[in-house]
Amino acid sequence: MRRYVIKRLAQAVGVLWAAYTVSFLVLDFLPGDPVTAMASAGMDSGQVDPAQLAALRHEYGFDKPVLVQYADHLGRAVRGDFGDAISTGRPVASTVADALPQTLQLTGTALLLAVLFGAGLAVVATYTSRRWLRQFLLSLPPLGVSVPTFWVGLLLVETFSFRLRWFPAFGNDGLQGLVLPAVTLAIPTGAQVAQVLAKSLLTALDQAYVETARAKGAGRWRVHLRHALRNASLPALTVVGLLVGQLVAGSVVVETVFSRDGLGRVTAAAVTSQDIPLVQGVVVFGALIFVATNLLVDLVYPLLDPRIVVASDRGASFA
């Protein structure tokens, strides 16, 4: 178990390093100059004092070679220092920390709804003996995956805010203001969970151990939940870990549609203004959330199936 945990921790560190490196290279290759954009805000770029531009480039380290910039920024990032945002002058860590709670609240609620609705739909669809109902329920997840998130958000706003006036259309107004954005994010995520879990359940129900349980007199509900669901949940659990990154990315669209303050809107503004330190800070924090969730999923695996640790140890010994 210790070797299994150490291996997963090493992989997590590698993902964080790769996320930072890729974001640094992509932002470095973008056309334009963030320092020029900041200095020429509200005026023509030809009116900017060259001495002022040189001073700003020196202050943010953009006058150094790319490799030196990368090494300096990476060294500070390891200590949790991502520098100051070019657009606001505030520390990147403070800017992200202020926006992060709203985004975590949104993505956490959306993930909970997605798991509950997706798992419930998969269990009911595979349990029912009515063929037409099963086919109808199993046709809903592909529809949920294919519908664009922004369209779902606009439809919910039009229906439940403007017509029925049940929920506010915009802002961060407590629990009511959280419902529509969370449902918007949860629909495609829950649909993917339902797809994977339903397929795994149908496969598990055809296995020999299920037939053995039935032969011993176990009822349908017990066979479905206690025997089939436990083994079928591993692929769905993997998908849930991967979907956390999708939820964080989807928050950019949802927070824009619902005018919510959060990491998504900070990211959109930072990309628009080419605020390199802020974008890198957001990318690393998003990757950290993704890595932490997948690490938690990896640690839960052995509780559901201890053979995973044994297989990992065998793979390490063969290597």
Ranges 137-141, 198-202, 273-277: which has the least confidence: 273-277
pLDDT computed for residue 308 by the predictor? 52
pLDDT computed for residue 311 by the predictor? 46
189/26: higher pLDDT: 189
- Asked if residue 151 has pLDDT above 50, the reply is yes
pLDDT computed for residue 168 by the predictor? 75
Q: Backbone dihedral region of 80: left (phi > 0), alpha (psi from -120 to 50 degrees) or beta?
A: left
Percent of the chain with pLDDT over 70: 78
Contacts of range 269-276, beta carbons closer than 8 Å, 24 or more positions apart: 269/87, 270/85, 270/87, 273/34, 273/37, 273/38, 273/86, 273/87, 274/27, 274/30, 274/32, 274/33, 274/34, 274/37, 274/86, 275/34, 275/85, 275/86, 275/87, 276/27, 276/28, 276/34, 276/86
Ranges 27-36, 82-91, 140-149, 168-177: which has the least confidence: 27-36
Ranges 156-170, 203-217, 246-260: which has the least confidence: 203-217
172/109: higher pLDDT: 109
Structure tokens at 45: 């770029």
Give the residue-averaged pLDDT of 113-128. Answer: 86
Ranges 27-36, 122-131, 182-191, 262-271: which has the least confidence: 27-36
Q: DSSP secondary structure string, 8-48?
A: HHHHHHHHHHHHHHHHHHHHHHSSS-HHHHHHTTTS-GGGS
pLDDT computed for residue 227 by the predictor? 64
Interatomic CA distance for residues 143 and 187, integer angstroms: 10
CB atoms closer than 10 angstroms to residue 222: 13
Paired with 84 in beta bridges are 91
pLDDT tens sequence across 286-310:
778 777 777 777 776 666 555 555 4
Ranges 7-11, 27-31, 150-154: which has the least confidence: 27-31
Q: Backbone dihedral region of 259: left (phi > 0), alpha (psi from -120 to 50 degrees) or beta?
A: left
Looking only at Cα atoms, what is the longest distance across the chain? 85
Interatomic CA distance for residues 27 and 22, integer angstroms: 9
What mean pLDDT value characterizes the chain? 75
Give the residue-averaged pLDDT of 110-120. Answer: 87
Whether residue 291 contacts residue 15, with contact meaning beta carbons closer than 8 Å, is answered with yes
Token look-up 């802002």 returns: 171
60 band by pLDDT with thresholds 50, 70 and 90: low
Interatomic CA distance for residues 92 and 282, integer angstroms: 8
pLDDT tens sequence across 169-205:
776 676 777 888 888 888 888 888 888 888 888 887 7
Q: Which residues contact 297 (CB under 8 A, 6 or more apart)?
A: 237, 238, 240, 241
Give the residue-averaged pLDDT of 226-255. Answer: 75
Interatomic CA distance for residues 201 and 199, integer angstroms: 5
The 3-state DSSP class for residue 84 equals strand
Q: Where are the alpha helices (DSSP H) in the chain?
A: 2-29, 34-39, 50-60, 66-78, 92-127, 131-146, 149-156, 176-204, 208-215, 220-222, 229-257, 263-272, 276-304, 307-318
